[in-house]
Amino acid sequence: MVSYKVLAGVGLLACVPDAFAIPVVSEPSTTVFSEPTFTPSAVPITNVTSHGPYTGPAPTTTGALSTSVLAPSIPARPPEPYKFAYPADGKLHAPEPAPYTPAGGLGTNGSEPVYRVQSDFDYQSIALALYQEYIELDLFHHGLVKYSEQDFEDYGLTAEDRFLLQFMGDQEVGHATVLTNMLGPEAPVQCTYNYPDTNLHEYIDFSQKLTRWGEAGVYGFLNHLDSRESAQILLQSITTEARQQVIFRQFEGLFPMPEWFQVGVPQSWAWTLLAPYISSCPANQTRLIWQNFPKLNVLNQPNPARTNGSAVYNETLGDYANTLSTADINAGEGCNNSTCGPAITHNRSIPLSYPGRQVFLSWEDPGLAVGPNNSYVTDTTAGAPQFAAWVTQLNVTYTPLQNISGNTAYTIQPNTSTIEGDPAVNGTIFLAITDCDLYVTPFNLTQINPHVRALTIYQAG
């Protein structure tokens, strides 16, 4: 009883208002030592590797990784009936597994997470993402070596902008580390690369396109991964990459985010656009299963380096990404800081593209060697080209090809909106040539792959 009374008295004193003395709080100290916690080591990286096209011997292995193939394509099926069963009326329909915890969800049963791939699909998808992280790591650092401080100043970017580029390259070390740990000892490693740019503006344009397909390629498979734990970590890295893409758009003087939704594309689309820029990889490098589609050229690709970026013809570097070329831009025709140079945001008075624009296209035949050590081969199972597929935000919109002659045609940029007030064809989007207008949605976009004849990036805005 005595012990109880003493404790009770302490409790009463704690509730007494300001009439009693209050201890003086000392000034905060800046010298308190904090024992560092364990930090996992990063994967070994090289800041700048050699660059240029592959010049080595012919590869002993060519084509994508493969086993026995069960069917030429995955057939379309109706939705699973159980997906219509939940009443979705805002009420609870099952016992709560814990307080304030609704029933359902994946990976919510309390088991310890395992951040490890769980299937061939997981391995090949995350290995693709790792190839992407490594090229970004090299590309961002390489730009700081290739282009001088004066080049950046002349373009309109300062030392602070250069540091941001350096920091984005450093972010890729972390991304490559976590993906390597998910994959294990056979994970892909750094390669050597071959970039198309000849000046800083072209470098920035290529970088903003490369980060677009890196981001979109992960969005396309993220929710299909068997390893939900790996998906969580990958989500937290790819959202950083999305911010990198916005930064490069701002560096280029483009409106930072002219869309309401970000697009997701199949793994083979990301690999198609990435592989041509990988020159060579070390011996026994982990190979990928993904398809390499033939290249699609946009002959009048909009050019963000021009004040009037839509009135152009043959102003790309001829690469898979249709990277802009500044070679034919005369004084007074190009961007400057007051019209469309680097900025937090620009609302261009003359849009890069618009509905009703005639878009001229040409495409390569399959069978060309691309990718690391020229060891992958472009391929398509599509029939005769009939449509252009505009893949952007939540939409896949088809427009008919016109005046088809051999491997050339033109089409008309569509006038379509994702939701009223949101023009669908805007930003850095994907453009494919297909043999039919197959109905697909963001979650099953891979169904279009057997019908894709050629593929590229289109700079709509």
Whether 67 is in a domain gets the answer: no
pLDDT the model gives residue 24:
61
Whether 433 is in a domain gets the answer: yes
Q: What is the mean pLDDT of the segment spanning 405-424?
A: 96
Q: Coil, strand or helix: which one is 156?
A: coil
Q: What are phi and psi of 378, to 5 degrees?
A: -65, 145
Q: What is the mean pLDDT of the segment spanning 394-401?
A: 97
pLDDT the model gives residue 142:
96
pLDDT beyond 90 at 33: no
Q: What percent of the chain has pLDDT over 90?
A: 78
pLDDT the model gives residue 5:
36
With cut-offs at 50, 70 and 90, classify the pLDDT of residue 61: confident
Average pLDDT over all residues of the chain: 91
With cut-offs at 50, 70 and 90, classify the pLDDT of residue 448: very high
Which of 90, 83, 186, 80 lies closest to 130 in space, CA to CA?
186
Q: What is the mean pLDDT of the segment spanning 322-351?
A: 88
Which two tokens mark 389?
């597929």
pLDDT the model gives residue 11:
42
pLDDT the model gives residue 29:
62
Q: What is the mean pLDDT of the segment spanning 239-268?
A: 97
With cut-offs at 50, 70 and 90, classify the pLDDT of residue 28: low
Overall residue count recorded for the chain in this entry: 461
Residues 264-294: pLDDT tens digits?
999 999 999 999 999 999 988 999 999 999 9
Whether 151 is in a domain gets the answer: yes
Question: Exposed/middle/buried for 354, CB within 10 Å: 0-12, 13-18, 19+?
Answer: middle
Residues 165-216: pLDDT tens digits?
999 999 999 999 999 999 999 999 999 999 999 999 999 999 999 999 999 9
pLDDT beyond 90 at 243: yes
Whether 297 is in a domain gets the answer: yes
Lowest mean pLDDT among 102-111, 240-249, 379-388, 399-408: 102-111
Whether 420 is in a domain gets the answer: yes
Lowest mean pLDDT among 17-26, 50-59, 326-335: 17-26
pLDDT beyond 70 at 59: yes
Please give the full DSSP string across 165-227, using - where no structure is assigned.
HHHHHHHHHHHHHHHHHHH-TT-----EE----SSHHHHHHHHHHHHHHHHHHHHHHGGG-S-
- CA-to-CA separations, 219 to 261, 262, 357, 395, 398, in angstroms, rounded: 11, 8, 29, 14, 22
pLDDT beyond 50 at 8: no
Q: What is the mean pLDDT of the segment spanning 103-127?
A: 95
Its domain, for residue 315, covers 114-459
With cut-offs at 50, 70 and 90, classify the pLDDT of residue 7: very low
Sheet holding 402-405, edge to edge: 296-298, 358-363, 408-412, 402-405
Whether 24 is in a domain gets the answer: no
Which of 264, 416, 310, 432 lies closest to 355 in space, CA to CA?
416
Q: Are 384 and 71 in contact (CB under 8 A)?
A: no
Q: What is the mean pLDDT of the segment spanning 375-388?
A: 98
Which of 161, 160, 165, 159 lies closest to 137 in space, CA to CA?
165
Whether 41 is in a domain gets the answer: no
Q: What's the total number of domains in the chain?
A: 1
Whether 37 is in a domain gets the answer: no
